[in-house]
Amino acid sequence: MSADRHPSSGSGADPVAVLVRRGELVESTHRVAYAVADAGGSLLQHAGDVRRPVFPRSSVKPLQALPLVESGAAERFTLSERELALACASHGGEPMHTEIVAAWLTRLGLDPSALECGAHAPSHEATARQLIEQRRPPSPLHNNCSGKHAGMLTLALHLGASTAGYIAPDHPVQLRISALLAAMSGASLAPPAIDGCGVPTHAMPLAGLATAMARLTDPGPAPPGRAEACATIRAAMAAHPLLVAGTGRPCSVIMAAAPGLLVKTGAEGVYVAALPERRLGLALKVDDGAGRAAVVALVALLARLDALDAAAPAIADLAAPVLRNHAGSVVGRIEPAPGWPSFDSPVACGLRQQA
């Protein structure tokens, strides 16, 4: 596949990328579109319809955190690297997550009731069981987006804006984030929908999402302070992968196994990655929203880009997870479709590490 700055959306379906086998028979298939872009907006590789707008959901949290840094709010309120990592996180609600966010809010003169993300049970099973055993309901601190919302509250205080209603699309915090997303992606953003945590979510093409992730590694001649803000966010995520997701979670496992590589998931089968050494961005979307397929597709793409060793022990279970029945016996597996992704070697297609 040749590099293509403006691929047509096409009329064909996105390619089958992931197979689910029971025994040796293919029981289910998942179609995936993906884009690999550089910071100039050129697509180096893509498959499927990368011009169709998709909701990036939580995959853009590292981008949503940039105004927190480049505005001076992070410096003014002395945010730690751990707090900045949590501003980018979809965390599991473990104590290491909730305790940091609680202390952060206290330092701001706020408490968890200021978070407008709502409450849900922790996705970390042991923590969720502990809450049940203690007969304690989950709080907004357990919401996987509580760190992002703490960051938005910090920015609101810095701007002198109301902390109430900071999730509204016309709030100064959200207006800054929307402008940044448009600039980083190069996409024209339609009026937003509402994400699961209540903030606006802007649909954009996968090509634009991949470009935005590439610009996280190299924002170019951007507004003053953006390059430094991007470097700060990258450093926080790389230094604290467990805070970005949690124990056993794919984002944390992958970033720990490949230091410097940044990975972020979003709901409904979205993943993004940033390759700082190569100044590249990757975005993918599973058509049917299946998270199980998104992880397998991401690992296959990163391995094909020589950014990840899919055979490494820490990664192998993500690259081709086995399926077990209720007795614990292996009954199948999830794996990339044969020959997918089908592009030339990283060197041949222009993905050589830049000097």
What residue segments make up the domains of the chain, in order of their start? 16-336
Looking at the domain covering 16-336, what would its CATH class be?
Answer: alpha beta
Q: How far is CA 35 from CA 74, 192, 295, in A?
A: 32, 22, 15
Instruction: Specify the pLDDT at position 224.
Output: 87
* pTM of structure: 0.92
Instruction: Specify the pLDDT at position 343.
Output: 79
Instruction: Specify the pLDDT at position 346.
Output: 55
Q: What is the mean pLDDT of each run of 10 residues along the chain (355 residues)?
A: 38 87 97 97 96 97 98 98 98 98 98 98 97 97 98 98 98 98 94 97 97 97 91 98 98 96 98 96 98 97 93 92 97 96 61 41
Instruction: Specify the pLDDT at position 3.
Output: 35
Instruction: Specify the pLDDT at position 310.
Output: 84
Instruction: Specify the pLDDT at position 12.
Output: 61
Instruction: Specify the pLDDT at position 342.
Output: 85
Q: Residue 194, SS3?
A: strand
List, in order, residues 6 or more apart from 200 with CB less than 8 Å away.
167, 169, 174, 177, 178, 192, 193, 194
Instruction: Specify the pLDDT at position 338.
Output: 96
Instruction: Specify the pLDDT at position 133.
Output: 97
| Residue from 86, 347, 15, 107 nearest 236 by CA | 86
Instruction: Specify the pLDDT at position 27.
Output: 97
CA trace torsion 292, 297, 300, 301 (10° rounding): -150
Instruction: Specify the pLDDT at position 221.
Output: 85
CB distance 341 to 299 below 8 Å? no
Q: Prior bond to 169 cis, omega within 30?
A: no
Element (H, E) at 235: helix 226-239
List, in order, residues 6 or more apart from 41 with CB less than 8 Å away.
5, 186, 207, 211
List, in order, residues 6 or more apart from 102 with CB less than 8 Å away.
112, 141
